[in-house]
Every structure is written in structure tokens, then in C-alpha cells.
Chain A
Amino acid sequence: MNQLLKLLEASENWPQSPSFYVTTLEALAEKLAQKGPVYVIGECNRLHPLKALQVFIRSLKIVMKERPDVVITTGSLPLAIVCLSAKLFGAKIVWIDSIANVERLSMSGRFVRYFADLLLTQWPELATKYRNVEYAGALV
């Protein structure tokens, strides 16, 4: 989340500002709510497949309503599920793997790699280790 905020600060609103935001917890939604509409999808991890299914269903609902052209995210697993849902409806996916993954891409990053349109790592070494993974710099 901290990494995403640093990116948004530096983005100078890109060609256009994001039209909506998705995060995992109410507590994190506050900062984003100042920027635009926020959806909260809840947390999940690999140990709780049922929660992941809930997140998937919520993601599909959001994606069907909003029909995003592009999804930009710094992870983690719940957001990988959002990426998959959005991809099913034709969105382009930009995944920035978290700085926390030093020696290999995150599990979510490795999953998203199958369908992402731009995949960035924040460690130069990892860009040489995987095909189609780029290093453009570190957010934090």
C-alpha cells in the first residue's frame, strides 16, 4: 500500500487519473477515498481458498460494473485475483512486484506473469532472472 502511494505521488496523474481504486481493508481505503471511489475486497492468502473465492466473486462484480481498460497494482494475492478477473474482461494488467520479494518474484507475481501486459520488479537482479520482467526502479 505504501508502495502504491509512492507510485501515485510520482504519477502526475498519468494520461488520466485512475477512475476507481481497489484495496483489501477498510483501514487502507481512507487515504484512497480522497482520490476517488474505493472498493474493499477483503484479505485472503494461500492458506484460505474459501476466502480467495469470496475475493474472486467480489472482484468479478467490480470488474463487470466498472469495466476497467487497465489495472495497475503493487499486489498482493487478493489483487492478483482482481487482475485475473479484469483480464477475463479484456483489461490490460500492470503488475509491480513488491520490494519485499528479494530473491524471487512473489507467488502472486509468478501467477500474474502468465497474463500480465507489463510486469515490473523493484530489484534489478530479478529482471535478469525471468523473461518478460522489467526493472524500471524501486518505489521504496
Chain B
Amino acid sequence: MIFLTVGTYPLPFDRLLIAVDNAIANGVIKEEVFAQVGLSSYRPRNMKYAQMLDKETFDSHFQKASGIIGHAGMGTITMALDHNKPLLAMPRLKKYGEIVSDHQISIARRFSELGHILVAYNAEDLPEGIRRMKNFIPRKRETHPHAVADRIRRFLDSLQDLNRTE
């Protein structure tokens, strides 16, 4: 099963839903697809869908899926990486009223350059992305929350030292 999610973002993302619906109709996707469509107005014909899923159902679809198709939001990307799932991401674009700024393009580009995700910049790229997704193994991402926390702790300690010398 492929899980399609447009995130919790409060704007529609019909372009992605239509592209995936067409890919099923054309036989590019042969697997079953389940979609979380959010505030999109397009009603998929070839896949089951829900507007919103509670966290539990969302997580269970995510875990069961062989691959994820989604927008290029950080929530979706980090969740795919945390679960080691291949993600094909399409950036939401401002010119179509899908988002208020075009930052998803640079997110998608950077994370795909780093080997973490696959990108379809537009509907035409989607079939190729779907073909590549079958054999795509996302590169593990190295994160450093402890290093960030340590830097902040040093800052906080320096404030306390200041108070002591005052």
C-alpha cells in the first residue's frame, strides 16, 4: 500500500491528488493507495481517501505503507526518515495557492541532494519518481539534538555566571 498525505497545511493540494489519481489510472501505480487529502477540493476516483485522520490511524497507515507520497513539508519528511520509508515529495507552490511561500522547493531539493527523499517538482515528474521509489533506500539522516542542547546549556550557564558576578 502507498500512503499519500498532503499534511495538515490549511490550503488545498489538488495538483498532487490529480497526478496520483492519473498515475493509478495509467497503470504507473499498481499498488493500492490510501490518501489523506486535507482541505483539497479534488475527490479522487481511483483511491480510497479521508480528509483528516486521527494520529493513531495516520501512524498505522504510515507504518503499513511500502512508500509515502506527500508534500515537501518538514513534518512529512522527518516522519518518513524516522520510519525509514521511501518518500516521493512534491513541493507545494505559491502560484497555485497551495502555500504562502515557495520554501518547499528548496527543502525538497536539499533533502533529495542528500539522498534522503525523491522529488517530483511537478506532475510530469511524478511517474518517473514512482518508478524510482520501488528501489529507493533513503539515506539515514544524522541529527545532533544533543549538540544543540549543549550549546544552549552553555548560553544559559553564561547567564548564571553573569548574575553571580553582578
Contacts and interface: CB of A to CB of B under 8 A. Distances in A.
B139 interface: no
Interface of B: 73-75, 78, 81, 100, 103, 106-107, 109-110, 141-153, 155-157, 159-160
Nearest to A122: B148
Nearest to A107: B101
Contacts of B150: 136
Interface of A: 2-3, 6-7, 9-12, 14-15, 45-47, 69-70, 72, 92, 94, 96, 98-103, 117-118, 120, 122, 134, 136-140
B148 A136 contact: yes
B126 to A, nearest CB: 22
Contacts of B78: 2, 140
Contact of B159 (A46, A70, A98, A140): A70
Given A15-B160, A102-B107, A6 B74 contact: no
Given A7-B145, A137-B147, A139-B143, A94 B74 contact: no
B119 to A, nearest CB: 13
A92 B159 contact: yes
A120 B150 CA distance: 12
Contacts of B157: 15
A10 B156 contact: no
A104 to B, nearest CB: 9
Contact of A102 (B106, B143, B151): B106
Nearest to B103: A100
A83 to B, nearest CB: 15
